[in-house]
Chains A and B, each alone.
Chain A
């Protein structure tokens, strides 16, 4: 609202020069006052009212999700490097279908569009990283539908889902298409964009399937660490996953409790009950560095919606994941176990939260009486 009451200035000049009503000096006077006094605005009649706080940190759901995407990129890039361009195409299909299903679901159910929060992009990347390079191109589309529509959308959208969408989708694909999902290939055997899974891709054993069969895996610990082994696209390189994890820790997107507790339990079990006879350390490192423990500990067990909110709850969650992973690996029919352990722990989050929410400062409601 600009001040308009400037009528007093220069009344006599008008008659002298006869320049009509819109004499320039009126504008000039206003300008001079603006420059000299700076007071160019009045208060509007009514101002905006709201509850405090009136300032806000710039952090938003989409900025957090963007950080997760950034943290996933190194491990994904490594996956593309060792498994070939086919791995990248699978990722693009997975992300695109997640985003599309999110958009369609919200359009059809008449909900606010949340594609911009980037959470569907994260789900798509996580899903693709959980697949092997030999997966047919149509498979992630079904996975994306299950993750976004069944697991997330039907439960109320972002933050409301009970289990991790990407992991639930992986479990679903595993049960629905076991043959397509179990094709693990060796690292360094690259697959082009148009390679067809049945003909070109031959299955090979992963360190865990070897261990599970009672043999000793031949991979060196160094290969396991940098990711020069067979496995899912995104889970093989501990090094690049840890780089992503450190980035998330520095950005304070995740906290250290769950990954540390999870990995520590798996490591301890490997050390105390080695499956490689007589070599606890070798056994420990093999257990930790293979089968997606690092990937799940950093990126899946720290998913906000499906894990506890309080620090001690995060520790309990991590320990629980570790114990279940070890039990599945040692006694289950399935060689891995990381993803199922998290899905099981997801179901217990409400109870863990109930146990571990912080104590109110000065005591709770009953203190007053």
Chain B
């Protein structure tokens, strides 16, 4: 029996870029760096128009004590302007626009952590991770230092999330193939901060080469183990991952640390390693650029703030007229209205599809086939929730536990009536939250 979870779906994997080595993209004409790329308070700018900045220089930080992570310049050059623009979700966010001087002058203050890992205290490690502005790079964007801090004394297991269950995305896979030591070393740094913890590297079984690479490295470390999980979406979701590995169900409103686990995405760990060993802040990330409109699909190491359009141009441009541009994976990613939006710390994929791929069928009546119930990894009844939401009975939807929905889209993927279930659930969740807020 392969380790897995209940429910879920198996969409086509489309890992077209699995054999594309990570290419480095260094010279966008300018970068537009959002000052909020994480969960928590937005950053305040530390630079102003006309300032010369180094690559890696801190240009924004959150107020003292607030949850968040600082942001850094990803290229050297001149601050052209600081403008307020809508981000991917439509929130108005300040962006620092830097014109690239193509010199890539690195901030002189960047240096490796002065002590050996075995001599570093947890507080020092948390400080390094915080100053590097590292956030969860799998998509959630939770500040990594806060995650480590909250797990100290509670978590005894570090789970390295290498599932990459979203179709099309291969950036984590390439990282495991090309720079596996960074992931392992990053995990060691987290282990050091937590005291003695064991590490489980969780990989879906459709990546045998990555499993081999990570196993070879794990052999040298007795506290490491590599676990192959059944390839099924959404295996990379943290609740499903903990269940597959430990058999425990994490209730809503609880953190993985409450079950003794702390989960890091592979790339986050690699960023932690680079911050510790080289002093590098989080200014680059790997992005899978794919979709039928991209001339040459690739994995690219992109400076944060480079526009999606520039990255696509770097990948040979467009070969078909695009209809939809997706930030992230095709299941949970966000559709972008414009290619001028920047790549952020949480952009794992840029997928561009033409109309024949994104064409939506008209929504028809629910035929009660029960496919959504079988597919729901959260054990919910999407068809009943949607029936309540359609008549605006949000209390009823709440009784069906719509708030437990993680918006993975497994239900909507297989719905024969083409009901946009996730959209209804997002609506209901925001209505319920607004009502709760109004009560207070």
- The interface of chain A, by Cβ under 8 A from chain B, is 1, 37-57, 59-61, 63-64, 112, 114, 117, 119, 156-160, 255, 304-305, 307, 309-310, 353, 357-365, 367-368
Contact = CB atoms under 8 A, between A and B. Distances in A.
Contacts of B331: 52-55
A41 B319 contact: yes
A6 to B, nearest CB: 15
A48 B351 CA distance: 13
A52 B330 contact: yes
Among B324, B366, B367, chain A packs the most CB atoms within 10 A around the CB of B367
A255 B312 CA distance: 45
A365 B401 contact: yes
Given A55-B413, A255-B370, 12 more contacts: A40-B318, A43-B322, A47-B322, A52-B422, A158-B365, A159-B366, A304-B368, A360-B380, A361-B6, A361-B243, A362-B378, A365-B398
Contact of A367 (B251, B313, B353, B381): B251
A53 B316 CA distance: 26
Contacts of B378: 360-362
B335 A39 contact: no
A47 B409 contact: no
Contacts of B422: 51-53
A55 B337 contact: no
B330 A361 contact: no
Contacts of A54: 324, 326, 330-331, 333, 335, 351, 353, 358
A358 B379 contact: yes
A59 B420 contact: no
Contact of A60 (B253, B321, B330, B361): B361
Contact of A55 (B11, B295, B401): B11
A63 B373 contact: no
B174 to A, nearest CB: 22
Contacts of A53: 330-332, 409, 412-413, 422
Interface residues of B, number: 81
Contacts of A44: 321-322
Contacts of B353: 54
Nearest to A367: B251
A159 B323 contact: no
B294 to A, nearest CB: 10
22 contacts: A37-B316, A39-B295, A40-B317, A43-B309, A43-B338, A50-B423, A51-B420, A52-B409, A52-B422, A53-B412, A53-B413, A54-B326, A56-B412, A59-B371, A60-B418, A112-B364, A157-B365, A255-B370, A309-B369, A360-B378, A363-B252, A364-B404
Contacts of A38: 295-296, 316-317, 319
Interface string B232-269: 00000001000100000111111000000000000000
B47 interface: no
Contacts of A158: 364-365, 367
Contacts of B6: 361
A64 B368 CA distance: 12
B301 interface: no
B122 interface: no
Contacts of B324: 47-48, 50, 54
B167 interface: yes
A57 B167 CA distance: 13
Lowest 4 CB-CB distances: which A-B pairs, in order?
A: A39-B317, A53-B409, A309-B370, A362-B251
A364 B383 CA distance: 17
A153 to B, nearest CB: 12
Contacts of B303: none
B416 A51 contact: no
Contact of A57 (B319, B325, B381, B414): B414
Contact of A49 (B252, B336, B404): B336
A359 B381 CA distance: 9
Among B373, B384, B398, chain A packs the most CB atoms within 10 A around the CB of B373
B321 A41 contact: yes
B249 A362 contact: yes
Nearest to B308: A43
A43 B323 CA distance: 9
B318 A43 contact: yes
A253 to B, nearest CB: 8
B334 interface: yes
A192 to B, nearest CB: 38
Contact of A46 (B12, B338, B383): B338
A368 B252 contact: yes
Contacts of A50: 324, 335, 360, 420, 423
A63 B251 CA distance: 37
Interface string B412-430: 1110111010110010000
A157 B381 CA distance: 21
B321 A361 contact: no
Interface string B393-405: 0000011010110
Interface in B146-190: 167
A50 B336 CA distance: 9
Given A47-B325, A304-B370, A52 B407 contact: yes
Contact of A41 (B320, B338, B426): B320
Contacts of B334: 52
Given A39-B313, A55-B330, A309 B381 contact: yes
A64 B366 CA distance: 13
Nearest to B340: A43
A40 B414 contact: no
Contacts of A61: 364, 367, 416-417
Contacts of B404: 360-362, 364-365
A151 to B, nearest CB: 15
A185 to B, nearest CB: 36
Contact of B335 (A42, A47, A119): A47
A255 B383 CA distance: 18
B293 interface: yes
A357 B254 CA distance: 24
A47 B358 CA distance: 12
A367 B423 contact: no
B141 interface: no
A38 B294 CA distance: 9
A185 B323 CA distance: 61
A126 to B, nearest CB: 15
Given A40-B319, A53-B331, A55-B413, A363 B251 contact: yes
B339 interface: yes
Contacts of A59: 371, 414, 416
B377 interface: yes
Contacts of B296: 38
A309 B403 CA distance: 21
